[in-house]
Each structure stands twice: as structure tokens, then as C-alpha cells.
Structure 1
Amino acid sequence: MNETDILVNKVANSGLVTIDLEQYYPKQDLIEFDIKPFLFRELILKELDFRKAIQEVDWKSFEGKILCVFCSVDAIIPKWAYMLIAKYAQEHVADLQFGNKDQALLSLFEKTLRSVNWAIYKDQKIVIKGCGDLEVPASAYQTVCYLLTPFASSIMYGEPCSTVPIFKKKKAGIS
């Protein structure tokens, strides 16, 4: 092999920074808590029955998990019912979210991504990793692009070897 036959890893030398949104995925399990079984005929919440049933829930079984509270049937649930669940869950769960798992995941990603200091990526060429083991919500990709755009010099989606261009900052003086 002579000097001209040397293989160059252009991806490694490209200066691309890869952001994997899976790193922002909640570490704790998300557990759904459906109010439906606590309703009379899956339609009406009776206060005394609800209070008794909620008191008897094994809240320790949710220890360290993210509890996603929702109702899977079209019923009118008074706001205090959610407050009562929060009261009992508070000392056991890692976090409490309103909605099913999918809705909670959207909320958690939004909260986490908005807490990141994206300014550290100023003038960087960013690739938002597109494939992985976990199902990252589409809204997370939208949010990260929105939050990175003021800082990054370019944003792409995919893998460094195969990307889809999303954004490229205009150079100063070019209209």
C-alpha cells in the first residue's frame, strides 16, 4: 500500500456533532394509571367509592416509576380526582404526568429538551440521529431543531454517513 492508497475517514474528519435524542429518554419506567376501573359503570365518578378505591391502591407498586394518569373512556372526571391521585402517588413515584404513556413521553421530552443549554453547539454542524432502539416522538425532533437553529451552523437528520439537510445558517453578507 503506498501513500495514495491510504483510506481517509471523511466522516470522522467532518467536524459533525451527533446528538442522539435517546439520551433524553426517561430513565424510569412509564406506568399508565387509568381511572376507568374506578368509575361506576365506566361513566360516573362517585366520590365516596372513588376515595375508598384510591386509598386501597398499592401505591408502593409504582415506587420510582413515572405514573401516567388518564381516563380511557369518555367520562367527566372532576379535577379534584386527579389531585387525590397525586396526593397518594406523591411519596412513591419518581414523577407524575397527566395523560397516557405517549402523551406523557411528549411532555417529558419537551420539558427535558427545553432545559438543555443548546448554546454549547454554537457554530457547530449538527446531525440529529434518526435511528435507535427507543421510539423517540416526532415532536422531540421538531423541538430540538427549533431550539438548536439559533446556535448551530447547520442541522441534519440521520447518520453522519447519510444525512438529510434541514438547516444551514446563511453566511454574513450574503442575501
Structure 2
Amino acid sequence: MNQNIFINKAEASGIIPFDLLDYKPTIEIVEFDLKDHLFMGMILKEKEFKESLSSIDFSVYTGKAVAVICSTEAIIPPWAYMLLMDKLSGYSVYTDIRSSEEILLDLWKKELQNVEPEQYKDLKIVVKARSETSPALYLLITQLMKPFVKSLMYGEVGLPKVILKN
């Protein structure tokens, strides 16, 4: 009797997949455009700016990350950012003067910093290839894993690209 036994070589290799998407933050990131609170969208007049901020229901930012931007070339004095932060504090969980994409990357990096690379000591790890993942995350995960892993690879378990071997 002829038995065909198939062996999953990828599974037998002992390579463990590591997916950066598992660490992608789920927090909603919204933009707050200062332009909407400036005179003619360009000039910050203190009284009007304060009145405009006072009319906002900041509770809509509860539990969200806020990307503070100004989509015009207006000059914004530092005290205006302080005033805005005073209004947002207690509502937003993260606020910065950066784009939504930059904030997402910052938060994603913070999530990766929580990885305990010691759990991968002497293991073969392949970091999954993802087009929607920033190269900055691949830099960070390599830095975190290098001292611990037996080998670090990129791609898919069945056909990885070896990056380093310890």
C-alpha cells in the first residue's frame, strides 16, 4: 500500500511568524485644524480664537488621538497651542502637532516597545512582509529582536529572506 505523507516543511522549520499589524493601534485619530478658528483662516486674533474654542464641544474627542494641524501658512503663537491643549486635556488620550499618519506611526512604535523580545530568545522569527507597514517599524523590530533571536527573517514563513543569524 502506497501512502503519501505530506510534510509541511514551513511548519517543521520551527520558524515563528511575527506580524507587525498585530500591534497596530486601534485608537481613532482625528485632526484638529487651527485654520478653522482663525480670522479669514489666516490670522489669529486672541479674542476671536478664544471665543471659537469656547464654542466647541470637546467631548467629541473623548478617547481619541488628536492631530493638531494648521492647513494654512498662518503663524500660530505657542500660547494658542497651550490654550487648545487645556481644552483637549481630559478628553483626548494623545495630542500632538503632527499629521494623523505621523501620530499613527508614533503610537504603533509605542505598541511595539511593549513587546517582550526575551520571549523570542533563541527562536527563528520571520517578520511578515506588509505593504501597509512603515519601514520605520521594521527598523524598530529588528533593533528589539536582534539581541535575542536565533535568526531574524523577513517575508513569509515558506520563503523568508534571512536578515541576521546569531
TM-score in same-fold range (> 0.5):
yes
Unpaired runs of 5+ in structure 1?
170-175
Give 5+ residue unaligned stretches, structure 2. Answer: none
| Paired residues of 2:28 and 2:65 also in contact (CA < 8 A) | yes
In the aligned structure 2, how far is the partner of 1:85 from the partner of 1:23?
33
Match of 1:172 in 2: none
Task: Work out the CA distance in 2 between the residues paired with 1:63 and 1:83.
Answer: 18
User: Counterpart of 2:134?
Assistant: 137
Match of 2:59 in 1: 60
Q: Secondary structure at the match of 1:157?
A: strand
Q: Whole-Å Cα distance in 2 between the matches of residues 119 and 98 of structure 1?
A: 34
Q: Is the 8 A contact 2:25 2:111 kept in 1?
A: no
Q: Under a length normalisation based on structure 1, what TM-score does the superposition of the two structures give?
A: 0.84
Hey, which bits of structure 1, 4+ residues long, moved more than 3 A?
A: none
Instruction: State the identity %.
Output: 37
Cα RMSD after superposing both structures: 1.9
Contact 1:21–1:129 under 8 Å retained in 2: yes
Report 1:24-173 matches (<5 A): 24-131=23-130, 135-169=132-166
Contact persistence 1:28–1:94 (CA under 8 A): no
Superposed CA offset, 1:101-133 (max 9, x none): 11101211222222322122111111111237x
Per-residue deviation, residues 37-77 of structure 1 (Å, max 9, x unmatched): 22233333222211111121221222222111122223322
In the alignment of these two chains, the number of paired residues is 166
Q: Structure 2 CA distance, aligned partners of 1:110 and 1:87?
A: 26
TM-score w.r.t. the length of structure 2 is 0.88
1:80 & 1:2 partners in 2: Cα distance?
81
Distance 1:57 1:136 in 2: 35
